[in-house]
A and B are shown apart, each in its own frame.
Chain A
């Protein structure tokens, strides 16, 4: 499909707007960049053919204002709208409004976004497609007797969760029957008080969990996977370091989780780039589906580095109605890639945000640095702290780690405090080098290690 001369409205900012711009250019498209009042001098605006202001600095009044963004895109004459990640990327009402205004939404249908964004509906779709989920109660339990029956099936430890809870609220870990007897009534009372609904459910507690996620691409009827990433190094539930492939998986486990992900993507008629997130429990060799993200993800470059596929260009092509340009058997893993997220935060001061003016930037030749920075750019304080992503590739994990250490030693970002010193320390840590980490590892490492800001 020839997209030359067609126009793409980028409804996002920062490094992902720059990345989408690059993909659109590679397809010969015209780029129209949205920006708030605070973002008039951002790199993506400078790189665009045209820029359109969409409101005040506060994201709620600009990047998150559906009516305003859709009207700006329509008035600009754009053929399509790319939402990036965050902001309105997983907002079904936005996707529907873009299409109602006669434009193409670069992503799945509003119906798919709504379905996969609902935890219960997404879990039901996963189970129907034969995708493994954490064993637990089928829906709500109303009391101790029902909880005991579930535990008899799945064993301790379990988590009790409030049916109406979310974001980690109302979760209790239970190790024994005595605890269960004590905590079930307590959890019911609390859930009723906090959420107006005393309903609970019980789920297996995953020990030593690793975060493994599968990248998929679909055209609405057919889907392929582009293997998996591991993102176990997290701080406050935010990923900071991602790898592809996941070194903790053997060939059989990889094939199993990737095939399950394609089944779910095809079952929901998925169109665009998407990611299925799982917890992997090494001791049981088991995957548990957590959620599906119906957008491009921050860490997509590590998948691009090992497969050679331009994910952002592909998602634009299929949004315009092109069939998938890839067959599964054409996609293979080449080597190993690692990405680290360079944030404007001071790791020696508990990751205090550091908006400032960017000084001279030095990055090594031949290393991918997806960034929003240029020398002299004043970083606005109104948005998240991600400045860019440093991405390395090697023939295997050891070589990728070695290239990461070299790249970090040769990278300088003047004028700002960044998370680069954190990665210099992690890239030398024996447990990181051995791959002996889980989703709780970094928080505990940070308790024990002081990072000197460079």
Chain B
């Protein structure tokens, strides 16, 4: 059963801390509980998206810089 990571807020999803920096987590990578997997920009402020549980083989369902709604599934993992 795949685990999901949902967006806590509506806004714009970013996979990198800054445009010239590497992704928080690469496609197919693993995360520990509490790891930051991306940022949501809402009204010009940035909020971290963290994994609530550990997982592996992460698969992002939303592109970098795509608009998302609150509760939207950002990624799935095993």
Q: Which residues of A contact B (CB under 8 A)?
A: 38, 56-58, 344-345, 353, 355, 381-385
Contacts and interface: CB of A to CB of B under 8 A. Distances in A.
Given A58-B12, A381-B10, A381-B11, A353 B43 contact: yes
B42 A355 contact: yes
B43 A344 contact: yes
Contacts of B11: 355, 381-382
Nearest to A57: B67
A355 B67 contact: no
Nearest to B9: A381
Sort chain B's interface into a size bin: 10 to 19
Contacts of A57: 12, 67
B36 to A, nearest CB: 18
A353 B8 CA distance: 12
Nearest to A355: B10
A381 B43 contact: yes
Give the most central of B12, B43, B44: most A CB within 10 Å.
B43
Contacts of B67: 38, 56-58, 381-382
B27 interface: no
A38 B67 CA distance: 10
20 contacts: A38-B67, A57-B67, A58-B12, A58-B65, A58-B67, A345-B43, A353-B42, A353-B43, A355-B10, A355-B11, A355-B43, A381-B9, A381-B10, A381-B43, A382-B11, A382-B43, A382-B67, A383-B43, A384-B44, A385-B43
Contacts of B12: 57-58, 381-382
A18 to B, nearest CB: 18
B65 A353 contact: no
Interface of B: 9-12, 42-45, 65, 67
Contacts of A38: 67
Nearest to A38: B67
B42 A383 contact: no
A57 B42 CA distance: 12
Contacts of A344: 43
Contacts of A58: 12, 65, 67
Chain A interface secondary structure, helix, strand, loop or mixed? loop
A417 to B, nearest CB: 12
A57 B67 CA distance: 8
Given A381-B12, A385-B43, 7 more contacts: A56-B67, A353-B9, A353-B42, A381-B42, A381-B67, A384-B43, A384-B44
A31 B65 CA distance: 32
Contacts of A385: 43-44
Contacts of B10: 355, 381
Contacts of B43: 344-345, 353, 355, 381-385
Nearest to A345: B43
A345 B43 CA distance: 9
B65 A383 contact: no
A58 B43 CA distance: 11
Contacts of A355: 10-11, 42-43
A381 B10 CA distance: 6
A382 B40 CA distance: 10
A345 B11 CA distance: 14
A338 to B, nearest CB: 24
A340 to B, nearest CB: 18
A344 B43 CA distance: 9
A385 B44 CA distance: 8
B13 to A, nearest CB: 11
A384 B12 CA distance: 13
Contacts of A353: 9, 42-43, 45
B60 to A, nearest CB: 18
A353 B10 CA distance: 10
A239 to B, nearest CB: 15
Contacts of B65: 58
B77 to A, nearest CB: 25
B38 to A, nearest CB: 15
A56 B43 CA distance: 16
Contacts of B45: 353
A415 to B, nearest CB: 14
Nearest to A37: B67
A57 B11 CA distance: 10
A38 B10 CA distance: 13
B34 to A, nearest CB: 20
